[in-house]
Copies of this chain bind each other. A is one copy, B any other.
């Protein structure tokens, strides 16, 4: 992050009922909100939700929750994070609308893909839900909208995790949709992730008299060989095939240019199918590196797809697409851990997330909005 190059956040009004999803995406993006700097955007979101009325609004730090209280027998939840990764230098904001040679009509700029397009979709839906309740045409299910902070940084600061601790009832639901970029295709569940350090040890010595020592980096040769030879599993869970992975994501060893090192640490990242618990994944990693010192540094369970549930099945049907497995760990796993089945479904190609030329197709913004509007408010059936 290069604070000197980031313009001071300008808070754009989001409450004007005339704003369409494209203009809302632009305004949400231009209210810059790199992780830790979500305040201005959270304030604008809260102001708009309160201005629209009809929904209960809860603020927790820089997370905002709005929900109907219709007493329905079923509640669905939409969630998205307000923060982005740091801007580029020079800043990739304000948002520009362009013709992209492949993607066509796009919005370009930090957050357009990950995931302020999804936030804008949520805002339109919240506004329309409030209007429907006010007009005496309330939705058939209760609905909760969650906007949260600190998704792009270490898990301990994640705003959804904080809400789950501070206000778990605010996240209660029968089914959740996380509007992370998925190219407007339902991605069910997610793989779990586990990181471990595989450490080799030796005996330090001057490299001019190496025979007095034992080289810990040389001792890591079989660790790398096992990684190079490893064939990842493919595991079917509820009809979706999850591809796993086991990769070195870091290696470090060495004391000085003239010293035989006594320690080498290979950091590995195992992505495991939601058929397995983090404990089972750890056992697998320990088996792969049998004979070596293995220390798990962090692990998070994945999430089963849950697509057999009625609310999920109806939602998938409305998207008009075949669901895919989600390989990356996402906050759907937090919902899964709370007992709420969840899927990823949002505008934007995840391949451009975090990229300097991050972008989102306007057509996907509008399609996601239509699909979700139809599902929540009973309109737009067949719009996909």
Q: Is A1 an interface residue (CB 8 A)?
A: no
Distance of A245 Cα from B215 Cα, bound (Å): 12
Residues 204-218 of A, flagged 1 when their CB comes within 8 A of B and 0 if not, give 001111110001011
Neighbouring B residues of A195 by C-beta, 8 Å: 257
Distance of A269 Cα from B261 Cα, bound (Å): 12
Q: Answer whether A219 and B228 are a contact pair too, CB < 8 Å, given A251-B251, A257-B249.
A: yes
Neighbouring B residues of A217 by C-beta, 8 Å: 224, 227, 247-251, 266
Choose from B210, B221, B245, B253 the contact partner of A210 (Cβ within 8 Å).
B245
Q: Answer whether A208 and B191 are a contact pair too, CB < 8 Å, given A249-B254, A254-B251, A257-B249.
A: yes
Q: Is A319 an interface residue (CB 8 A)?
A: no
Choose from B207, B221, B250, B251 the contact partner of A269 (Cβ within 8 Å).
B207
Neighbouring B residues of A215 by C-beta, 8 Å: 227-228, 247-248
Most buried by B among A243, A248, A269: A248
Within the complex, what minimum Cβ distance (angstroms) separates A302 from chain B?
A: 10
Q: Is A78 an interface residue (CB 8 A)?
A: no
Neighbouring B residues of A258 by C-beta, 8 Å: 193, 249, 269
By the criterion CB–CB under 8 Å, are B249 and A208 in contact? Answer: no
Q: How many copies does the complex hold?
A: 2
Distance of A249 Cα from B207 Cα, bound (Å): 8
By the criterion CB–CB under 8 Å, are A249 and B256 in contact? Answer: yes
By the criterion CB–CB under 8 Å, are A257 and B269 in contact? Answer: yes
Q: Is A26 an interface residue (CB 8 A)?
A: no
Q: Which residue of B lies closest to A154 (CB)?
A: B257
Neighbouring B residues of A248 by C-beta, 8 Å: 215, 217-218, 253-254, 261
Q: Is A135 an interface residue (CB 8 A)?
A: no
Distance of A363 Cα from B207 Cα, bound (Å): 29
Q: Is A276 an interface residue (CB 8 A)?
A: no
Distance of A219 Cα from B264 Cα, bound (Å): 17
Most buried by B among A228, A232, A252, A264: A228
Neighbouring B residues of A239 by C-beta, 8 Å: none
Distance of A237 Cα from B219 Cα, bound (Å): 32
Distance of A224 Cα from B202 Cα, bound (Å): 14
By the criterion CB–CB under 8 Å, are B249 and A252 in contact? Answer: no
Choose from B209, B211, B327 the contact partner of A328 (Cβ within 8 Å).
B209
Distance of A243 Cα from B210 Cα, bound (Å): 10
Which A residues, 336 to 375, have Cβ-Cβ distances below 8 Å to chain B?
none
Within the complex, what minimum Cβ distance (angstroms) separates A175 from chain B?
A: 24
Choose from B210, B224, B257 the contact partner of A220 (Cβ within 8 Å).
B224
Q: Is A93 an interface residue (CB 8 A)?
A: no
Query: Could you list 30 A-B pairs, sorted by A, with CB under 8 Å?
Result: A193-B208, A193-B258, A195-B257, A207-B247, A207-B269, A208-B245, A208-B271, A209-B327, A210-B271, A215-B228, A217-B224, A217-B227, A217-B248, A218-B224, A218-B247, A218-B248, A219-B228, A220-B224, A221-B225, A225-B225, A248-B253, A248-B254, A249-B255, A250-B257, A250-B261, A251-B251, A251-B253, A251-B264, A252-B254, A257-B269
Interface residues in chain A, defined as those with a beta carbon under 8 Å from any beta carbon in chain B: 191, 193, 195, 206-211, 215, 217-221, 224-225, 227-228, 232, 243, 245, 247-261, 264, 266-267, 269, 271, 327-329
4 closest residue pairs by CB, A with B: A250-B254, A221-B224, A208-B328, A217-B248
